[in-house]
Amino acid sequence: MENFNLYAAASRILKDSVKLEAGESVCIVSDTNTTEIGEVFASCVAAMGAEPILLVIAPRKTHGVEPPAVVAAAMKAADVILQPITYAITHTNATKEALQAGKRVLVMRGVTKELMLYGAVGADYKEIDRVSELVRQKMTKGGAVRITSPSGTDLSLSVEGRTGIMLTGLVKGPGTFAAMPDGEAAIAPVEGTAEGTLVIDHTMDGIGLLDAPIRLKVEQGRVTSIEGGKSADKLRKLVEEADEGARNIAEFAIGTNPNARLIGNMAEDKKAEGTVHIAIGDSHVIGGTVESSIHLDGLLLAPTVWIDGECVVDNGKLLIK
């Protein structure tokens, strides 16, 4: 029964999220942790009259690390790209170049059988699309953003002149991408504008559930200190082993999926309606200018967000509907 459910879920994703058509070529990028899910998608692609190309790579070290060159070439040659993979390759030149070539991309970072069957994946994605577009418009029209949280976040940044994006589980056409599970509106802050304190208090890419909140000091758009428990030590090591761009405040996003659960997996956690996630590292795929070998999201619970003085999230309640 589990396999039947997985096939049904994969078929629904192919039909609704990427609108797969017979005769199309589909590059499925999986890794040694997600091979079974990649094989399910390959079988469903073939059953729909399309051509599956299943690639299995070693898991990357963390999110945002480039895939092998042969994978990048295969993605550019396909019509549709599926990424059921442990660590996201969304924020890489390989994915950016595939999008520029007009490919349709569905990101499934951190995917598990459980994520394929329960929670956020079963939401009303047409409604999520509607709400996310309202949030995206508010971000795009906005300038000054302030984010606070009960854990101690008090961060200001500018999005002036930047264009927001939304990820709603629905790939809109050539050269666009979405994720599954999904539900968020996001924007790349203007480089050098973020100032204040950022406290990640639940989950962090590359780490998972935190042993204690991670407190980051942010000055002129960059993280200047990382404090906390063992989780903070892990994050500090990831940043120090990366590159100059790793300290950049790369993304500000608001979750819009009412079905998303807090399960310790950022693939679903960061989609939860009324949460905020802030990323460090690479921003060039979503409209920023900083390139880095990492892109790591950190989750804030019960945030309050103001855009140009208007409260749009109040203690974890999304006010834009």
113 pLDDT exceeds 60? yes
Q: What is the pTM of this model?
A: 0.88
Provide mean pLDDT across the span 259-277: 96
Q: Return d(Cα 30, Cα 55) in angstroms, integer.
A: 6
Distance separating alpha carbons of residues 271 and 287, to the nearest angstrom? 20
What average pLDDT score do residues 180-192 get? 97
The CATH T-level fold of domain 2-117 is Thermophilic metalloprotease-like (3.40.1830)
Give residue 310's pLDDT: 98
Residue 3, pLDDT > 90, answer no
Residue 185 has pLDDT above 70, yes or no: yes
> Is-contact 262 273, C-beta < 8 A?
no
Confidence of residue 48 (pLDDT cuts 50, 70, 90): very high
Residue 2 has pLDDT above 80, yes or no: no
Percent of the chain with pLDDT over 90: 95
Q: Taking 80 as the threshold, does the pLDDT of residue 1 lie above it?
A: no
Domain positions in the chain are 2-117, 123-318
- Give the CA diameter of the chain: 53
